[in-house]
Structure 1
Amino acid sequence: MFARTAHTLARQVARAGTRAYSDAPMAFTFASQSQVFYKEANVRQVDVPSFSGSFGILPSHVPSLAVLKPGVLTVFEEAGTSKKYFVSSGIVTINQDSSVQVLAEEAAAVEELDLASARDILSKAQSAASTAATEEAKAEALITVEVAEELVKAAESG
């Protein structure tokens, strides 16, 4: 029994070491409702915030679908530069051919964020949450608070 388990583990370890990650660029599309940031651009890596945890996407990533949570999405371009964007929500799709699509509800370059405005949005959302008359209104306000908190963090980092 032990020998069979050891043999199975040895095969799995050997297979794990054969996965070929590549420095080859991957086709990346990133858009919000109002703007296209990248359209089938070749990039090296994309780091995304998701409800299952933040993760990085490299060429040959396992095909996946994830829901974005509010936070900073980082794109590592072919030239070695990186750009950061705040996303409020959305989805990320990683395909078998290594192409990646990010569709965000709202998105903006981090350097374009105004910290004072972000703090004002957070303050108003917190006030709305504390004075909400219905459970529905409170839930909506708490969602806005969560997004605004991440918006403030992004603006502070930019």
Structure 2
Amino acid sequence: MAFRSIVARSAALCRRAMATEASGNTFPLTFGSPYKAIYDNSNVKQVDLPSTTGHFGILPQHVPTIAILVPGTVSIHTESGEVEKYFVSSGTATIHADSSVQILAEEICAVADIDENAVRSGLEAAQSKLSSASNEADKAAAQIEVDVYQSMMAA
């Protein structure tokens, strides 16, 4: 009896399916950081994200998913057809069964606000830190800085 119960629960936990509660060609997006809210349950057509498993796009009725964000560009396709681009340092994205999406990032800035000269000098400083790091913790911290600055340059 107990085995059947475990198997039944396991089957329910392992099931993946498309979101079934969504309708139309938009979905509600909440996108923010501890410092600012960019979208608060606003309807959008598509979101493209950088994640640990690669870049992927979210459309209505996407498979419910949780993703870890890596430094990179989040592109938001608005209802009016405009594309807004934001740089995120890291964070999480959750796609719910009702097609709502929640993106929480540690840091967010509009790609248009990125100062290329400041990023270039920050990258040089981070690469210098990486090459002169004397222990594993310093190397890891410097590598994170390098990765973020390189992603900002790419944005």
Is this a same-fold pair by TM over 0.5? yes
Which aligned runs of 4 or more in structure 1 are off by greater than 3 angstroms? none
Aligned pairs, number: 136
Cα shift at 1:62 = 0.6
Cα shift at 1:22 = 5.7
| Structure 1 unaligned residues grouped into runs of 5+ | 1-18
Cα shift at 1:23 = 4.5
Cα shift at 1:32 = 1.4
Does 2:139 align with 1:134?
no
Cross-structure match for 1:71: 72
| In structure 2, distance between residues paired with 1:36 and 1:126 | 32
Cross-structure match for 2:107: 106
| Matched residue SS, 2:51 | coil
Equivalent position amino acid for 1:110 in 2:
V
Q: Which has the higher contact order (CA 8 A, sep 6+)?
A: 2
| In structure 2, distance between residues paired with 1:80 and 1:60 | 19
Deviation track 1:9-43 (CA, whole Å, cap 9, x = no partner) reads xxxxxxxxxx9x96421010000121110000000
| In structure 1, distance between residues paired with 2:56 and 2:24 | 18
With structure 1 as the length reference, what TM-score do the two structures score? 0.82
| Matched residue SS, 2:63 | coil
| In structure 2, distance between residues paired with 1:73 and 1:51 | 14
Cross-structure match for 2:6: none
Asked if structure 2 preserves the Cα contact closer than 8 Å seen for 1:23 and 1:44, the reply is no
| Matched residue SS, 1:72 | strand
| Structure 2 unaligned residues grouped into runs of 5+ | 1-19
Paired-residue identity, %: 47
Q: What aligned pairs does 1:32-51 form with structure 2 within 5 A after superposition?
A: 32-51=33-52
Cα shift at 1:129 = 0.5
Equivalent position amino acid for 1:113 in 2:
I
